[in-house]
Amino acid sequence: MSKLVPPHGGKGLVCSLLEGAAREAEVKKAAGLKKVEISPRVRGDLIMMGIGGFSPLNGFMTKADWKNVCEKFTLADGTFWPVPVTLDANKDEAGAISVNDEIALVFKDEIYATMKVTEKYALTAAEKKWECETIFKGAGEDSSDSKFWQVAEKDHPGVKMVMEQKEFNLAGPVKVLSEGRYPKDYAGVYMRPSVLRAELDKRGWSTVAALQLRNPMHRSHEYLAKIAVEVCDGVVIHSLIGNLKPGDIPAEVRVPAINKLVELYFVKDHVIQAGYPLDMRYAGPREALLHALFRQNFGMNRLIVGRDHAGVGDFYGMFEAQDIFNRIPVTGNPAKDLLCQPLKIDWTFYCTKCDGMASLRTCPHGKDDRVILSGTKLRKMLSDGSAIPDHFGRDEVLDILREYYASLTEKVEVKMQGAASGAKM
């Protein structure tokens, strides 16, 4: 018997990925279906539905689901869900499609899935704005009523993504035909939930923490992971291997950097490195909830949540992603409620007077004694060619990152927000 937390939704892992003869037959059928071109975000969502990472979803949301998720944090049937998972189509595509039609979903000439359309609905500009305000607007300076719409469409990648969506959404169940490049390009790191759960069961783990990563690991990430190892059976360093915003460090660089850190500075019996295929939405608190939900499907019952989890710019309060877990609906039905809980950790840094890693809860010294650590700050220093302060990162990791930045012919300006710079400490 597994000791792990059950998948979200009470139905086990809901996997829409076809394999073997069933896949071959569906691929042949898909060639003759009407085709809808999908975005990179939709591709990632499809793969997650395929492998069971988005259980209990087996398709894209209806308008009732979309509205409930934005307004109440639940699907229309009351099952917890924090972020819309929708499929957009333009006017011509939607006009050529009727309810009950089967369609093929295509990304860069590859058919990723087929879908039976059960509903199509328009989203007005006002409805898209409402979605952005409910999902992406936080308690930070950039989210104030006077500022949000002045800066969000330019500086918030998630808001830009929603506002640029096509005019219609299509809802319905999917049959997923491809996992894209992930199994080949990230062999040994990319794991389906069933594979990761089997490894966790093999190790006999029951209390498992996830460290969400979209950056290479600096000393603060390392410290967070080791705190989790002390209080759980083990930690899964679970990094995003989908798309990021311009200026972020790609997965093909981050994975070797994390491998090096794990190899040299962790007890291997208590850590696993894995990856998942989503694109970042940069939804801050809402995305922290999504991160917890799909980690439950992967077998983890704790999510490490530190400062500005999944944030961007100054849109979110520093610990807003921790606080939101106290405000989500709870029905008492484990099939409908979120079972993966946050492991809340204060702002961490290296203190020269403490002579080690510390947090605001453990370090009595002043700001001048602290090396403020953040992924944004690290990217900024590497991009500018600035010297990296002592104790910011492990030398073996920094060597990999310096080599990557030296290879770039064009660099994206990295903007520093208040929290990442330490200005708000």
pLDDT in tens, 130-171: 999 999 999 999 999 999 999 999 999 999 999 999 999 999
Q: How far apart are CA 129 and CA 145, in angstroms?
A: 13
**Which pLDDT belongs to residue 265?**
96
Residue with tokens 């996830």: 210
Instruction: State the DSSP code for 304.
Output: E
Per-residue pLDDT tens over the stretch 120-129:
999 999 999 9
Between residues 307 and 128, the one the model is more confident about: 128
What is the average per-residue pLDDT within 264-282? 96
Beta-carbon contacts of residue 199 (< 8 Å; ≥ 6 apart): 191, 272
Burial 241-253 (b: 16+ CB within 10 A, else e): bbbbbeebbebeb
pLDDT of 236 reads 98
pLDDT > 80? residue 413: no
Instruction: Grade residue 374 by pLDDT with cuts at 50, 70 and 90.
Output: confident
Q: What is the pTM of this model?
A: 0.94
Write down the pLDDT at residue 417.
60
Distance of alpha carbon 259 from alpha carbon 192, whole angstroms: 19
The rounded distance, in Å, linking the Cα atoms of 311 and 308 is 5
Has 23 been annotated as catalytic? no
Arithmetic mean of pLDDT over the chain? 94
Instruction: Give the span between the Cα atoms of 357 and 110, in whole angstroms.
Output: 47
For domain 20-123+165-176, is the CATH number 3.30.2180.10? no
Task: Reply yes or no on whether the pLDDT at 76 is more than 90.
Answer: yes
Question: How many alpha carbons fall within 13 Å on the CB side of residue 414?
Answer: 22
Give, as one character, the DSSP assignment of residue 268. Answer: G
Structure tokens at 286: 């809402």
Across 40-44, average pLDDT: 96
User: Which is catalytic among the residues 169, 215, 243, 297?
Assistant: 215
Residue 418 confidence (pLDDT): 58
Q: What is the residue extent of each domain of the chain?
A: 20-123+165-176, 185-421
How large is the average pLDDT for residues 101-123?
97
Other C-beta atoms within 10 Å of 399: how many?
12
Which residue reads 């939405």 in tokens? 281
User: Among the options 41, 192, 197, 214, which is catalytic?
Assistant: 214
- Distance from C-alpha of 114 to C-alpha of 117, rounded to nearest angstrom: 10
Does pLDDT of 416 surpass 80? no
Class of domain 185-421: alpha beta
The 3-class SS string of 313-373 reads: CCCCCCCHHHHHHHCCCCCCCCCCCCCCEEEECCCEEEECCCCEEEECCCCCCCHHHEEEC
**pLDDT at position 422:** 58
Residue-wise DSSP of 152-170: HHHH-HHHHHHHTS-SEEE
Please write the tens of the pLDDT for every residue from 315-365.
999 999 999 999 999 999 999 999 999 999 999 999 999 999 999 999 999
pLDDT at 419: 55
The pLDDT > 90 percentage for the chain reads 86
Q: Which two tokens stand for residue 212?
A: 């969400």
The yes-or-no verdict on residue 269 having pLDDT over 70 is yes
Query: pLDDT tens, 4-37?
Result: 999 999 999 999 999 999 999 999 999 999 999 9
The pLDDT tens digits for 170-224 are 999 999 999 999 999 999 999 999 999 999 999 999 999 999 998 888 899 999 9
Q: What is the mean pLDDT of residues 98-124?
A: 97
Dihedral of the alpha carbons of 327, 291, 148, 85, in degrees to the nearest 10: -100
- DSSP state, 415? P
Q: What is the pLDDT of residue 316?
A: 97
Return d(Cα 324, Cα 288) in angstroms, integer. 9
